[in-house]
Amino acid sequence: MSSAESPVTRFAPSPTGFLHIGGARTALFNWAYARGHKGKMLLRIEDTDRERSNPAAVDAILDGLKWLGLEWDGEAISQYSRMQRHAEVAHELLKAGKAYHCYCSPEELAAMREKAEAEKRPIRYDGTWRDRDPSTAPAGVKPVIRFKSPQEGETVIHDNAQGRVVIPNKDLDDLIILRSDGNPTYNLSVVVDDHDMGVTHIIRGVDHLTNAARQTQIYLAMGWQVPNMTHVPLIHGPDGAKLSKRHGALGVEAYRAMGYLPAALRNYLARLGWSHGDDEIFSTQQLVEWFSLEGINKSPARFDFVKLENLNGHYIRHMPDAELLADFLAFLPHVEGGPELLAKIDDTMKAKLLAAMPGLKERAKTLVELKASAAYLFAQRPLAIDDKAKALLNDEGKAALKALHPLLAAAPEWAAHPLEAIVKAHAEATGIKLGKFAQPLRAALTGTSTSPGIFDVLAVLGREEALGRIGDQMAT
């Protein structure tokens, strides 16, 4: 790519399920490279497998990309809608003598497979119709079109991550590019679409490396420029095994429901298979500025939920309160009980949540934990008290509440620091440890034994609500 050109990347998922975490990382790398070089990232839905493709999966992929903040350029393109163009190229190759009709029956192909297995050879098409006179074709048989793969020499892939990859041409048989029903196959469709869309850089999983050799041969046969290629290492679990659902091979929507922030997930995914020195935590803008194809590692990356959770906690703690509130509200529709909670959040409750956010975010590693910590704000009087909190509201605890209630009621200013001063002064005057007052206060105000700082809780609840909750427990 010359300095005058802007790169064009593409993300090309198959709509057979949700946007899984490996696909999300591929999209992120394509997006970061395009944005960092003032180029474009295109989106192509590879929906030619009509039996497995479904509209719900397309919607889930688009929704997952938008939630991650990975906007593409232009309209999403359906590969299926371009099948006629793919077939045209197959016939161009046929006309140029670089492809041929193959009339082999299913039985003949099965016999080839069995013979190869018996001789312990790789299963490959044996070229029966490669140089055969089409006039000898059996009557009434619809042929496939096979690409005439070079039989000698080698196909070389110059890969940014994998280095120089050499595949002997004898290891690649004559690929079917058009089925007998007229439908094109994957490797042909991908080449035609990438060429027609002007894709300059292909960034995808290393599992496509063999496809890259076949696709390179088709590019060369058509006289087209082969795009710059980068095959990214796979993601493994922390134990080094192939990523499974127990490791985190879930759809992006699952990470949203688990309470991860898009910015944190972008940061974490960027570090899976790519590095910039020793930097672990960086902004999305820094990622765009720093990202390079040369920085992509060759070996598999390891997915670690503990690291992701810790990183997410860092983002929660350092995010401005108003931004965190916006992400929290956007998260609620996607978590159990969230829609009902969202319905209760009016402008008054938003103000309370914003005021409570400094205390809430100090302990939370996910938005799920933040939601649990914020539950006291939504609780209705009289509060449901859990077992640990009940133990704190024994006779001693209730006596502490009765002593504090009038002192708090007389507070000239209802804010965390003045309220803390009142309680501390009373503890010192009575010679009783501060915890003996703070713990029953927490139980009465939240119904639990854990919460954000108790004086912050007092302040956020407000004078009337806080005193009412304390009074409720004094009366029981």
Please check the confidence at residue 355 and state whether its pLDDT lies above 90: yes
CA separation for the pair 73, 66 (Å, rounded): 12
Query: 20: which DSSP letter?
Result: B
CATH code for the domain in which residue 104 is found: 3.90.800.10
Do residues 365 and 392 share a domain? no
Domain endpoint, select from 341, 358, 377: 377
> If pLDDT is split at 50, 70 and 90, which confidence band does 248 have?
low
Q: Are residues 155 and 179 in the same domain?
A: yes
Please check the confidence at residue 353 and state whether its pLDDT lies above 60: yes
Q: H/E element holding 74?
A: none
Q: Please choose, from the candidates 459, 461, 457, 452, the residue with its C-alpha nearest in 3D space to the C-alpha of residue 359.
A: 452
pLDDT digits (tens, 9 = 90+) for 161-203: 999 999 999 999 999 999 999 999 999 999 999 999 999 999 9
Nearest CA to 214 out of 138, 120, 148 is that of 148
Q: Which parts of 142-208 fold into alpha helices (H)?
A: 186-196
Place of tokens 């198959």: 14
- Note the pLDDT tens digit of each residue in 49-75: 877 888 889 999 999 999 999 999 999
For residue 146, tell me if it sits in a domain. yes
Q: Please check whether residues 363 and 417 belong to one and the same domain.
A: no
Do 454 and 372 fall into the same domain?
no
Same domain flag for 434 and 459? yes
What lies within 8 Å, CB to CB, of 351 at 6+ separation is none
Nearest by Cα to 21 from 338, 329, 258, 287? 258
What the block records as the tokens of 75 is 């309209």
∠ at Cα 265 (263, 268), nearest 5°? 110
One domain for residues 340 and 367: yes
List, by residue number, the catalytic residues.
Answer: 245
- Percent of the chain at pLDDT > 90 equals 82
107 domain-assigned: yes
Give yes or no: residues 88 and 120 share one domain.
yes
Q: Which residues make beta-bridge pairs with 154? A: 168
Cα separation, 75 vs 46, in Å, equals: 14
Asked if 409 and 467 count as a contact pair (C-beta separation under 8 A), the reply is yes
Burial 205-233, CB ≥16 within 10 A → b, else e? bbebbebbbbbbbbbebbeeebbbbbbbb
Q: How many helices (H) and strands (E) does the chain have?
A: 21, 12
- Tokens, residue 67: 């939630």
207-236 pLDDT, tens digit per residue, is 999 999 999 999 999 999 999 999 999 999
Inform me whether the pLDDT recorded for 134 exceeds 60: yes
Whether 393 and 412 map to the same domain: the answer is: yes
pLDDT digits (tens, 9 = 90+) for 330-341: 999 999 999 999
Q: Which amino acid, 92?
A: E
What total of structural domains would you count in the chain? 3
- Identify whether residues 364 and 391 lie together within a single domain: no
Q: Is residue 251 part of a domain?
A: no
Nearest alpha carbon to residue 447 among 428, 470, 415, 422:
470
Note whether residue 102 is domain-resident: yes
| Domain-located, residue 66 | no
Q: Which two tokens stand for residue 93?
A: 């190759």
Secondary structure class of 460 (helix, strand, coil): helix
Please give the residue range of the domain that contains residue 95.
82-189
- Boundary-marking domain end, from 344, 377, 410: 377
Angle at 260 between CA 254 and CA 261, to 5 degrees: 125
Structural domain contains residue 175: yes
Q: Are 412 and 418 in contact (CB under 8 A)?
A: yes
> pLDDT class for 245, splitting at 50, 70, 90?
low
Roughly how many angstroms between the first and final C-alpha of the chain, as a whole number?
77
pLDDT of residue 110: 82
Q: How many CA atoms lie within 13 A of 28 on its CB side?
A: 31
Better pLDDT: 17 or 355: 355
User: 26 exposed, middle or buried (CB, 10 Å; 0-12, 13-18, 19+)?
Assistant: buried
Buried b (16+ CB within 10 A) or exposed e, 154-170: ebebebbbbeebebeee
CB 369 within 8 A of CB 363: yes
Please state the rounded mean pLDDT for residues 31-42.
Answer: 98
Nearest 5°: the CA angle 322, 327, 328 is 95
> What global pTM score does this model have?
0.91
Residue 136: inside a domain: yes
Domain boundary among 150, 172, 189: 189
Asked if residue 206 belongs to a domain, the reply is no
Is the pLDDT confidence value at 103 over 50?
Answer: yes
> Residue 382, preceding bond cis, omega within 30 degrees?
yes
Residues 363 and 407 in one domain: no
- Reading the block at residue 330, the tokens are 């956007």
Asked whether residue 100 carries a pLDDT value surpassing 90, the answer given is: yes
- Predicted local confidence at residue 247, as pLDDT: 62
Contact between residue 80 and residue 51 where contact means Cβ atoms under 8 Å apart = no
